[in-house]
């Protein structure tokens, strides 16, 4: 059995509907998963839901619903959302599933037996919003806590703690010896800075049932449930080992947002070390989206509804905008004007126009039959394919799209330069017209192959319009000359209808 490329998203709290930020994370993960598939690797892509904890319990209470029934309803929406985005996930985890709960309990029992936990009294402050304990040093100079913590309450309780602190130097050494473990580099430096300048506190891994009962019971003390983060992080392994038919662990990439780096780059590696498991190869950290320069927030109404955008403009227009606009790392800003402008210039007038005029001319001048091979654009196509291949291997999705669009632009210029509509008027130029038409339709075919990880629906449509019955899902097929003389293409239809804006 050979190891599969195993990639995950964070798992999402089921306390509301998915928004732009969640969609972005799912899409970049899907593009990386598809990239590896198109490069010929076997891939396992996991996404899913984080269903326990106070946040979810409170959301269920607010709707006067039993937490499990509440999660079941929302889980159906989130699963439908994954389909709407055409994610190629191989499984969908819900942390309330028996397969996950049993695995968490088995790990807890093992760690407890191995002396990794101790019971101690905690006196301090608690942020429900962040599901985290706070201390005096988290107060701001004016004595208050940052509003991002929400309502902070004071409490005193007995809990179980995991011995994190003991592994601080080991983790520093590990991250220093493995420079790609946390990416981009500036996130890695932040983690190292945090570890070198703070004493790592032990991690509280329990919550008393008297305060919170929506969680996985500790197998060794029924008065407690497991802290939601301990439960959640373990999903990456519980599901990997729920698939004995594949070799999955260690994960190749955990894709997460910048707000949860500490959990993934500090707590999780130490948990895995204690569990006796190898560490994931990489934690890949993306930035956060804003809309119109302000935080996305349901309460202020500053939101982008991905489903509404997809229903109006199509899935691939949505995928294209978020991938082309924002590299993995920095923060991004959604504007409706920016979205429409990219749709119009890059999709409708760029790619869409290239395909439509290439195929329409082939229909009109050659009855839709591909002429003899010609290789005037072969070098341009090969350059775009080589660049895309190299960039996809490094998860440089935005740069890869940029290279691919270089080929779109080149081919559109080629139409303007060679003027096939004029050539068609002159019977003496018949052979030249054949050459031009071949170069155009073959470039469209190569583009479909290169675009498949990013815009899978569009890639499939291009292949269908070219009259090709296979799927454009293997990068090797980007080699020039795939279309043969005499092949009959299908019907040209606009990929991205122009819209009044």
Q: Which residues bind ligand MSP (CB under 6 A)?
A: 10-13, 21-22, 24-25, 50, 232-233, 256-257, 259-260, 288-289, 296
Minimum separation from the CB atom of position 187 to ligand MSP (A): 12
Minimal distance in Å, beta carbon 285 to ligand MSP?
9
End-to-end alpha-carbon separation of the chain, Å? 53
Q: Which one, 5 or 24, has the nearer CB to ligand MSP?
A: 24
Q: How far is CA 213 from CA 54, 60, 206, in A?
A: 9, 13, 11
Give me the least distance between CB of 216 and ligand MSP, in Å please. Answer: 14
Q: Give dist(CA 364, CA 221) in Å, integer.
A: 77
Rounded Cα gap, residues 471 and 451, in angstroms: 12
| 217-218: strand order across its sheet | 206-208, 221-226, 217-218
What are the angstrom distances between the C-alpha of 268 and each of 95, 229, 261, 264, 473? 17, 10, 10, 5, 34
Tell me whether residue 289 or residue 414 sits nearer to ligand MSP (CB atom). 289
Which residue, 50 or 387, is less far from ligand MSP as judged by CB? 50
CB of 196 to ligand MSP, least distance (A): 24
**Dist CA 362 CA 176 (whole Å):** 57
Our CB check for ligand MSP shows the closer of 29 and 465 to be 29
CB proximity list for 236: less than 8 A, separation 6 or greater: 8, 46, 251, 254, 268, 280
Is the Cβ of residue 97 or residue 358 nearer to ligand MSP in the bound state?
A: 97
Neighbours of 414 (CB within 10 A): 19
Q: What are phi and psi of 10, to 5 degrees?
A: -65, 165
Tokens found for residue 56 = 């979810």
CB nearer to ligand MSP: give 77 or 259.
259
CB 85 within 8 A of CB 30: yes
DSSP 247: B
- Complex with ligand MSP: residue 10 or 152, whichever CB lies closer: 10
Q: How far is the CB of 50 from ligand MSP (least distance, A)?
A: 3
CB of 474 to ligand MSP, least distance (A): 30
Smaller CB separation from ligand MSP, 13 or 249: 13
Cross-strand bridge partners of residue 91: 46
Sheet strands side by side (includes 289-291): 294-295, 289-291, 332-334
Q: Taking each helix axis as running N to C, give the angle between helix 353-366 and helix 430-451, from 0 to 180 degrees, rounded to the nearest 10.
A: 140
User: Measured from the CB atom, is 229 or 438 closer to ligand MSP?
Assistant: 229
Nearer to ligand MSP, 239 or 489 (CB): 239
Residue 286 Cβ, how far from ligand MSP at the closest point, in Å?
6
CA-nearest of 93, 74, 79, 90 to 30 is 90
Report, in Å, the least distance between residue 491 CB and ligand MSP. 39
Q: CA-CA distances (angstroms) from residue 242 to 1, 47, 246?
A: 16, 14, 9
Taking CB atoms, the residue at the shortest distance from ligand MSP is 257
- Block residue for tokens 């070390």: 273
Name the minimum Å distance from CB 36 to ligand MSP.
20
CB of residue 73 to ligand MSP, shortest distance in Å: 17
Q: CB 326 → ligand MSP: shortest distance, Å?
A: 9
Percentage helix, strand, coil for the chain under 3-state DSSP, each rounded to 5: 50, 15, 30
Kindly state the smallest distance separating residue 259's Cβ from ligand MSP, in Å. 5
**Three-state helix/strand/coil letters over 60-129:** HHHCCCCHHHHHHHHHHHHHHHHHHCCCCCCEEEECCCHHHHHHHHHHHHHHHHCCCEEEEEEEEEEECC
Q: Strand 43-50 relative to strand 5-13: parallel, antiparallel, unpaired?
A: parallel
- Cβ proximity to ligand MSP: between 260 and 455 the closer is 260
- Nearer to ligand MSP among residue 21 and residue 492 (C-beta): 21
């Amino acid at each position: 059995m050979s190891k599969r490329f195993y990639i995950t998203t964070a798992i999402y709290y089921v306390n509301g509907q998915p928004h732009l930020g969640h969609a972005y994370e799912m899409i970049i993960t899907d593009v990386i998963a598809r990239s590896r598939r198109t490069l010929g690797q076997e891939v396992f892509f996991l996404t899913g839901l984080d269903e326990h904890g106070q946040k979810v319990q409170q959301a269920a209470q607010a709707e006067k619903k039993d937490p499990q029934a509440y999660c079941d309803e929302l889980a159906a929406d989130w699963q439908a959302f994954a389909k709407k985005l055409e994610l190629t996930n191989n499984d969908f985890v819900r942390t309330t599933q028996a397969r996950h709960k049993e695995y968490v309990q088995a790990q807890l029992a093992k760690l407890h037996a191995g002396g990794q936990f101790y019971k101690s009294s905690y006196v301090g402050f608690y942020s429900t919003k962040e599901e985290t304990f706070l201390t005096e040093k988290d107060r701001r100079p004016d004595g208050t806590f940052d509003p991002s913590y929400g309502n902070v309450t004071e409490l005193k309780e007995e809990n179980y703690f995991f011995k994190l602190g003991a592994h601080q130097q080991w983790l520093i050494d590990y991250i220093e010896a493995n420079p790609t473990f946390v990416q981009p580099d500036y996130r890695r430096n932040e983690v190292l800075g945090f570890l070198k300048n703070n004493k790592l506190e032990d991690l509280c891994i329990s919550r008393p049932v008297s305060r919170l009962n929506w969680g996985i019971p500790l197998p060794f003390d029924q008065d407690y449930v497991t802290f939601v983060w301990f439960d959640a992080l373990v999903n990456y392994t519980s599901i990997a080992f729920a698939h004995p038919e594949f070799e999955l662990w260690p994960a190749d990439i955990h894709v997460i947002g910048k707000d949860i780096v500490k959990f993934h780059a500090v707590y999780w590696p130490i948990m895995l070390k204690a569990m006796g498991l190898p560490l994931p190869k990489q934690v890949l950290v993306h930035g956060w989206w804003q809309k119109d320069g302000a935080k996305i927030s349901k309460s202020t109404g500053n939101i982008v509804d991905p489903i509404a955008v997809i229903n109006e403009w199509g899935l691939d227009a949505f995928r294209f905008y978020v991938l082309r606009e924002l590299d993995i790392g920095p923060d991004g800003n959604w504007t409706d004007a920016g979205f429409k402008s990219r749709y119009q210039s890059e999709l409708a007038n760029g790619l869409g126009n290239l395909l439509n005029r290439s195929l329409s001319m082939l229909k009109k001048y050659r009855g839709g039959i591909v002429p003899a091979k010609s290789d005037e654009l072969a070098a341009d196509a090969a350059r775009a394919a080589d660049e895309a291949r190299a960039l996809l291997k490094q998860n440089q999705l935005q740069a890869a799209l940029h290279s691919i669009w270089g080929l779109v632009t080149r081919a559109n210029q080629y139409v303007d330069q060679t003027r096939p509509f004029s050539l068609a008027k002159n019977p003496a130029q018949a052979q030249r017209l054949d050459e031009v038409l071949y170069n155009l339709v073959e470039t469209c075919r190569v583009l479909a192959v290169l675009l498949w990880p990013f815009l899978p629906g569009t890639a499939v449509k291009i292949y269908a319009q070219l009259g090709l019955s296979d799927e454009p899902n293997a990068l090797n097929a980007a080699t020039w000359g795939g279309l043969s003389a005499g092949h009959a293409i299908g019907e040209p239809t606009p990929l991205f209808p122009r819209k009044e804006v």
